[in-house]
A and B are shown apart, each in its own frame.
Chain A
Amino acid sequence: AQSVTQLDSQVPVFEEAPVELRCNYSSSVSVYLFWYVQYPNQGLQLLLKYLSGSTLVKSINGFEAEFNKSQTSFHLRKPSVHISDTAEYFCAVRGSSGGSNYKLTFGKGTLLTVNP
């Protein structure tokens, strides 16, 4: 079984400032890691994912996350945020193999609010 901890429930920042949303996970097996984003009045959508290979993964809108196995972390970062990045961000994990590897375990979410 896996678990996910998102330490910050809310992160307010000013526009053009850098941001880091923290995610730590626990698992007894190898994992795949995901960040999903939920914009206001929309469903969750995949932002980026780590499956294998390079530990640094990037999204099309400037976010990046780095898989750190020794620290069991998958923090999400952006060097300069925009008002349009205001949303709730969910970190998720699943096992990379095994019979129930379709089952995602989600964190509680971090609400990122970007202020002008």
Chain B
Amino acid sequence: AQTVTQSQPEMSVQEAETVTLSCTYDTSESDYYLFWYKQPPSRQMILVIRQEAYKQQNATENRFSVNFQKAAKSFSLKISDSQLGDAAMYFCAYHDSHDMRFGAGTRLTVKP
């Protein structure tokens, strides 16, 4: 079974600074997607960014970007110019046609 590992249970960042959240995964599939989801205290799940495995170019969404290292099975999320509203749980997820797995989450605190 595919596994997704987030090795940082908690992270903190100063407002306006940059932070990187780590994620590694294990799979034998060649066709899959990787995701970062955000869950603020409101409980609402929000898709932050998605990466298709066959695309070599790293996905970006405004202040959010990923570093996708397919050979190393690594998928980190970089948040630039951190804002107070970025404080949340962040979940890394793996998805192929047969399976979907989430990491355990990283709680991000943003300090003013």
User: Are A and B part of the same complex?
Assistant: no
